[in-house]
Chains A and B, each alone.
Chain A
């Protein structure tokens, strides 16, 4: 009954993941880094749902729910950290905060 083959769903998830990874490596703006992380988490969730739909099992969607929960908690803390970063350094460039103090 299911018309979407497993391989192509997983291929799409892989492509989205690689796009997110490329954005994470190429961009230096912190907002874009967080958005790329969201793309990668979303691709991982897509892979779970595709695999769950293959065997008509609800487990894939349950795992997607956990990924969603983790992504929302991560983005809340990450955006608060970005606000802190901008407040202290007045830039969003990730390279400008590459050194640690203390």
Chain B
């Protein structure tokens, strides 16, 4: 089990280091997604399946899609189209694919182990988290809802002024 932890930690650190040193934002995003998947794998190894699922769904899914959208919108405005010719050459995607293949193999191994002999991990399941979240931390949930509402209104307001100025 600790070998799997070290492997996932290696993938996380390596892909994060590669993500912050890439020149192109999309390549950095690829490595950042691999890093988030590695952290999700570590959550699974720590016995936190809810946190792992949310890491994949919200971080690697929703937030990274937001980044991709914004990069697409910014690239539209750029004048140079020279980079479109060499769009995603092989050496750009082999690194993320190899790292995520390592993570996927690890996940399959963990899955095979847990079906044969029950779950090998001491788990804090979604039920415990839900009871703590809506019991002890109810005020935190209310505050988080207010934070999300203010984030929604702020993003809507800031995004709307762009459209108005473009129409002028």
Interface residues of A (CB under 8 A from B): 1-5, 8-9, 12, 15-16, 19-20, 22-23, 26-27, 29, 31-32, 34-36, 38-39, 42, 45-46, 49-50, 52-53, 56-62, 64-66, 68-77, 79-84, 86-87, 90, 92
Q: B residues within 8 A CB of A27?
A: 20
Does any Cβ of A come within 8 Å of B147's Cβ? yes
Judged by DSSP, the binding face of A is helix
Q: B residues within 8 A CB of A35?
A: 19-20, 25, 28-29, 32, 67
Q: Which of A3, A64, A74 contacts B151 (CB 8 A)?
A: A74
Given the interface pairs A39-B16, A86-B74, the reply to whether A61 lies near B48 with Cβ below 8 Å is yes
What mask results when residues 54 to 74 of chain B are scored 1 for a CB within 8 Å of chain A, else 0?
Answer: 110011001100110011011
> How many Å from the CB of A87 to the closest CB on chain B?
5
Q: Kindly list 12 other residue pairs between chains A and B, CB separation below 8 angstroms, not including A31-B67, A57-B124, A65-B133.
A: A1-B121, A19-B16, A20-B20, A45-B51, A53-B48, A53-B124, A61-B50, A62-B129, A72-B62, A74-B151, A83-B73, A83-B162
Give the interface residue-count category, chain B.
35 or more
